[in-house]
Chain A
Amino acid sequence: MFLKDVISRKKRICGIVMAAIFLSSCSNQTGSEVFEKSQSRPVITIMAPLHFPQGPDSSLVQQLEEMTGTTLMIDWVPDEIYTDKMNAALTMNSLKKATFVKYTDYIFLKSAIRSGMFWEVGPYLDEYPNLRRLNDNILSQTAVDGKIYGLYTERPSSRQGVILREDWLENLQLEAPKTVDQLYNVLKQFTVKDPDQNGKDDTFGLTDRNDLVFGAFKTLSSYFGTPNNWIAQDHQIIPEFETTQYRDTMNFMKKLYDEKLINQDFVVTSKDIQRNMLISGKAGVYIGSMTDVQRLSNEAKQFNPEARFTVVNRIEGPEGYKVWSIPNFNGLFLFSKSAIKTENELKQVLNFFDRTMEADAANLMKYGIEGRHYTLAGKEVQLPVKNEQLRIDEVSPLYSLMIADLSNPNLMQVAQEDPLLALAEKLSVDNEKFIVKDPTVNLESVAFDEHSEDLNQIISDATYQYILGQMDEAGFNQEIEKWRRSGGEQIIEEYTKSYFE
């Protein structure tokens, strides 16, 4: 009995062990299979910014891997810390094969590029059916010493315009402004009259934030005819803040501030608070990117269902219609030589980006999966409002990986159902007719690459102090002198040399 017991126990243990071995060998097999499969496909490592709370849905990434025949390892870094992370990766030489660089950070990388840290991709582009069609003009905007190192993500030249409360205009029987004076009048009426008709003096005109470029200031300065950062004049490149038009803009802002037509704390106001003042009905005018109108309007309607908005892009100033523009790239993918050792590997990576411009991959990255994220009406894409959250959660992050999407003919068109957004898009196109370009975009200045940050700060501090009345014209001129002494002079020289050669 006892012996039998032991034997049976032994048998049972044996069985368990056998099963375990069998199972483990099984799992081993599938493991190596997956491994082999991924081995055969080239691995593409990418570092890209994430503008949403979470990365894209893994099934979409998987589909993209299938389409492009690659294994993707994407490092999604939250946008707020992207610059720091990228700098850290650069410092520690741990860049991915393809690393996205924002155009605002690009100038700081130029010395790294010149030292040969990245592959020059220009000569290879012609080998690829889609990459060869990249816009030469935009490529040249990204060039360093005339050589092309990156694949750009595209954006329109100028979306700047004025967003205002249509219902407030109607309550006060005002027209949408067409000139700078009319714009001032609207701001004034919105403040002193009672545009929301609640019997209280609780509104003001313009909501602005702590940003002289993407806030209201630079767009207003265009209306006054200020050049875009620099102007080539009398055989010299001159900075915008030495022009009279810049002074006019400062005086205009000063008037707005003194008469309390603008939020009094705009120097320290964040974008969220700025938007909130428009959304909650405290302010009636927002100057900035016109395409923001859709989200602003949706959010404002939750506060007050009566709130209606309109968009204006043509504000005539002393020199007619003008609006500043930005380079047509949002950023670009650079290819690190420490991550990509051979030319062959580089070609695999370029091949991936080329493949993402084909119809199937491009539409997947932009719109998601048909039926789940969008529906088709004829050849146009319809984006139902009820799926919006799903699109944001699953598809939208992938947009960071799309190169040259605006001019990509393989992408389907969207049937526009939101009239405000349609209007904003239309006006953005209209802006193209009178954009003011920055003449220095393609110019080289080592001093600018090195000192732009502290030099900009001198001028932006002085501009704020002038607007708030803590500095007079003489003081502002002194600050310009300081700017020139601290390296500005050198930048002017280098730009002038580079421009007139």
Chain B
Amino acid sequence: MREVIVHPEQVQAPRTGSGITRRLRRNIWLYVMVLPGLLYFLIFKYAPMFGLIIAFQDFKPFKGIKGSEWVGFEHFNRLFTEPDFLNILSNTLILFGFNLLFYFPIPIVLALMLNELRMNSFKRLFQTLIYLPHFMSWVIIVSISYVMLTMDGGIVNAVLEQFGLEKINFLLSPEWFRPTYILQVIWREAGWGTIIYLAAMAAIDPQLYEAARMDGAGRVQQIWHITLPAIRSVIIVLLILKIGDVLELGFEHVYLLLNAMNRDVAEIIDTYVYTAGLKQGKFSYSTAIGLFKSVIGLVMVISANKLSKKFGSEGIY
């Protein structure tokens, strides 16, 4: 009798187990191939996240995480009551807005233009040329700009003077910080940003263009009715990713441009973390700010994703 009465779960359990092992065994090499990537994320992305708890401690390096005192939300309190906090946050958001408004569309336009080029050799050459700045470090780009924009013998001011215009102190005036920043971003990243769009355009079925030409569509109409709709999903994915990076404006870049005269508009969260936190060994405070930044980024990604789904496009997940 005993052998007859068997609970359904008991039967189920070994079966699923063997199912997993069977699937594992069948695709063993695929799993092996996934392993390094998996380990990378576990070791370098997930494991360090435990360090975030120091945001709630008064962390002292020599006492370690175990020995440091717990302080709850004290560091967040300090951040939100900091007199400059709103200014820094709004600087960060404005700079992000500039990025989205002026930088984001440019690679799309560039990619469309490149796509229309007939001569393949010329296209390749041009592509390579516009990729190049991406491989220069910000230090070099900012130094080159410095040499061009300085008041004492910079070429831009020399030209202005030649035309009888007044010299402009680009480096030291707060009004010029944002334009300088965004122009440098465009110069360095626009070319590199075209890669994904070009790849998406290459995947468009040429028959669509042929059909459009038969129907008498011009170049512009082809771009508008075929190319753009075809890369729409790519644009949206990149836009969502970009929004997730809302507070990643490039510490190195902004820090290099920052000086006593433009600090009111140029201090962003990243640079603040460095000067107020890391430079003075306040690891907990820096971590708290970093955590705050990540939370905002997460909220932005989720809402952008929701929004894009609402408008009928696919999100990133």
Residues of A within 8 A of B (CB): 87, 90-93, 108, 111-112, 115, 117, 210, 263-265, 267-268, 277, 282, 450-454, 457, 460-461, 463-465, 468, 470, 482, 486
In the complex, what distance in Å separates the CA atom of A463 from the CA atom of B261? 10
Q: Which residues of A contact B294 (CB under 8 A)?
A: none
B152 near A468 with CB under 8 A, answer: no
B152 near A264 with CB under 8 A, answer: yes
Task: Among B62, B64, B146, B260, point to the contact of A460 (Cβ < 8 A).
Answer: B260
Known: A115-B63, A264-B169, A267-B260. 11 other contacts (CB 8 A): A90-B62, A112-B60, A263-B152, A265-B150, A265-B171, A267-B172, A267-B261, A268-B146, A453-B275, A453-B280, A464-B261
In the complex, what distance in Å separates the CA atom of A457 from the CA atom of B275? 9
Q: Name the residue of chain B whose CB is nearest to the CB of A450.
A: B280
Task: Among B172, B282, B283, point to the contact of A265 (Cβ < 8 A).
Answer: B172
Contact with A along B219-262 (1 / 0, CB 8 A): 00000000000000000000000000000000000000001110
Q: B61 in the interface, Cβ–Cβ < 8 Å?
A: yes
A108 near B283 with CB under 8 A, answer: no
Q: B124 in the interface, Cβ–Cβ < 8 Å?
A: no
Q: Which residues of A contact B61 (CB under 8 A)?
A: 90-93, 112
Taking CB atoms and an 8 Å cut-off, the chain B residues in 165-182 that contact chain A are: 169, 171-172
Q: Name the residue of chain A whose CB is nearest to the CB of B259.
A: A268
Q: B279 in the interface, Cβ–Cβ < 8 Å?
A: yes
In the complex, what distance in Å separates the CA atom of A114 from the CA atom of B282? 16
Q: Smallest distance from the beta carbon of B79 to chain A beta carbons, Å? A: 13
Q: Which residues of B contact A268 (CB under 8 A)?
A: 146, 171-172, 259
Q: Which residues of A contact B283 (CB under 8 A)?
A: 91
Q: Which residues of B contact A108 (CB under 8 A)?
A: 280-281
Q: Which 8 A-B pairs have the closest CB atoms?
A: A464-B260, A264-B151, A91-B61, A461-B260, A117-B62, A453-B280, A265-B151, A268-B259
Q: How many residues of B contact A (CB 8 A)?
A: 24
A454 near B151 with CB under 8 A, answer: no
In the complex, what distance in Å separates the CA atom of A264 from the CA atom of B161? 15
Q: Smallest distance from the beta carbon of A466 to chain B beta carbons, Å? A: 10
In the complex, what distance in Å separates the CA atom of A90 from the CA atom of B283? 12
Q: Which residues of A contact B172 (CB under 8 A)?
A: 265, 267-268, 468
A93 near B261 with CB under 8 A, answer: no
Contact with A along B280-317 (1 / 0, CB 8 A): 11110000000000000000000000000000000000
In the complex, what distance in Å separates the CA atom of A8 from the CA atom of B207? 76
Q: Is the interface of A mostly helix, strand, loop or mixed?
A: helix
Q: Smallest distance from the beta carbon of A469 to chain B beta carbons, Å? A: 11
Q: B204 in the interface, Cβ–Cβ < 8 Å?
A: no
Q: Which residues of A contact B169 (CB under 8 A)?
A: 264-265
In the complex, what distance in Å separates the CA atom of A112 from the CA atom of B280? 12
Q: Name the residue of chain B whose CB is nearest to the CB of A207.
A: B152
Q: Which residues of A contact B155 (CB under 8 A)?
A: none
Q: Which residues of B contact A453 (CB under 8 A)?
A: 275-276, 279-280
Q: Which residues of A contact B151 (CB under 8 A)?
A: 263-265
Q: Which residues of B contact A461 (CB under 8 A)?
A: 260-261, 263
In the complex, what distance in Å separates the CA atom of A256 from the CA atom of B64? 52
Q: Smallest distance from the beta carbon of A223 to chain B beta carbons, Å? A: 23
Q: Which residues of B contact A264 (CB under 8 A)?
A: 151-152, 169
Task: Among A115, A452, A463, A470, point to the contact of B62 (Cβ < 8 A).
Answer: A115
Taking CB atoms and an 8 Å cut-off, the chain B residues in 48-106 that contact chain A are: 60-64, 83
Task: Among B63, B64, B261, B276, point to the contact of A470 (Cβ < 8 A).
Answer: B261
Q: Smallest distance from the beta carbon of A226 to chain B beta carbons, Å? A: 19
Q: Which residues of A contact B146 (CB under 8 A)?
A: 268
Would you give 25 A-B contacts (Cβ < 8 Å), ordered by A? Answer: A90-B61, A91-B61, A93-B64, A111-B60, A112-B60, A112-B62, A115-B60, A210-B259, A263-B151, A264-B169, A265-B169, A267-B172, A267-B261, A268-B146, A268-B171, A450-B280, A452-B280, A453-B275, A454-B276, A457-B263, A457-B275, A460-B260, A461-B260, A468-B172, A468-B261
Q: Which residues of A contact B150 (CB under 8 A)?
A: 265
In the complex, what distance in Å separates the CA atom of A72 from the CA atom of B177? 50
Q: Name the residue of chain B whose CB is nearest to the CB of A337.
A: B62
Task: Among A112, A451, A465, A482, point to the contact of B260 (Cβ < 8 A).
Answer: A465
Q: Name the residue of chain A whose CB is nearest to the CB of B279.
A: A453
Taking CB atoms and an 8 Å cut-off, the chain B residues in 95-136 that contact chain A are: none
B152 near A277 with CB under 8 A, answer: yes
In the complex, what distance in Å separates the CA atom of A93 from the CA atom of B171? 41
Q: Which residues of B contact A263 (CB under 8 A)?
A: 151-152
In the complex, what distance in Å separates the CA atom of A318 from the CA atom of B64? 54
In the complex, what distance in Å separates the CA atom of A452 from the CA atom of B165? 43
In the complex, what distance in Å separates the CA atom of A108 from the CA atom of B282? 10
Q: Name the residue of chain A whose CB is nearest to the CB of B281.
A: A108
Q: Which residues of A contact B275 (CB under 8 A)?
A: 453-454, 457
> Which interface residue of A451, A454, A465 has the most chain B CB atoms within 10 A?
A454
Q: Which residues of A contact B261 (CB under 8 A)?
A: 267, 461, 464-465, 468, 470
Q: Which residues of A contact B171 (CB under 8 A)?
A: 265, 267-268
Q: Name the residue of chain A whose CB is nearest to the CB of B174.
A: A470
> Which interface residue of B62, B169, B275 has the most chain A CB atoms within 10 A?
B62
Task: Among A87, A210, A457, point to the contact of B281 (Cβ < 8 A).
Answer: A87
Q: Smallest distance from the beta carbon of B91 to chain A beta carbons, Å? A: 15
In the complex, what distance in Å separates the CA atom of A265 from the CA atom of B282? 33
Q: Smallest distance from the beta carbon of B74 to chain A beta carbons, Å? A: 14
> Which interface residue of B152, B172, B259, B263 has the most chain A CB atoms within 10 A?
B152
In the complex, what distance in Å separates the CA atom of A463 from the CA atom of B171? 17
Q: Which residues of A contact B83 (CB under 8 A)?
A: 482, 486
Q: Which residues of A contact B64 (CB under 8 A)?
A: 93
Q: Smallest distance from the beta carbon of B8 to chain A beta carbons, Å? A: 54
